[in-house]
Amino acid sequence: MVFMSGFVSLGNLASLTNFATLAAFVVVCAGVILLRRKHPEMPRPFKTPGYPFIPLLGIVVCGYLMLNLSVTTWIAFAIWMSIGLVVYFGYSHSHSALATQK
């Protein structure tokens, strides 16, 4: 993001940052629901109040806020996420613990 600040307007950069934060909140809320269903026996250091309504509400509200951002922000996020996934999987393919055990 710091590199982009020299080439992208502050408004567009703020929108992209907001989008990424909201997307992370959606993933966390969905993860809470998924882990509670798939692994109910897992020890949890804290309880989610109002489960499953609070995580569902988080997904809906963050999704609504994401829908109100511009199409340019959606496209920029898709490009940025694609680049990140290529770098992540490209690096992890050769540097993971499983790959180095061979």
Q: Any idea where the domains of the chain sit in the sequence?
A: 7-100
Provide the pLDDT for residue 1.
59
Triad 97, 99, 102: Cα angle to 5°:
110
- Please state, in angstroms and rounded to a whole number, the distance separating the CA atoms of residues 21 and 28: 11
- Specify the pTM: 0.81
pLDDT tens for 2-25 read: 776 788 888 988 999 999 999 999
Provide the pLDDT for residue 87.
94
pLDDT tens for 25-63 read: 999 999 999 999 999 999 988 888 899 999 999 999 999
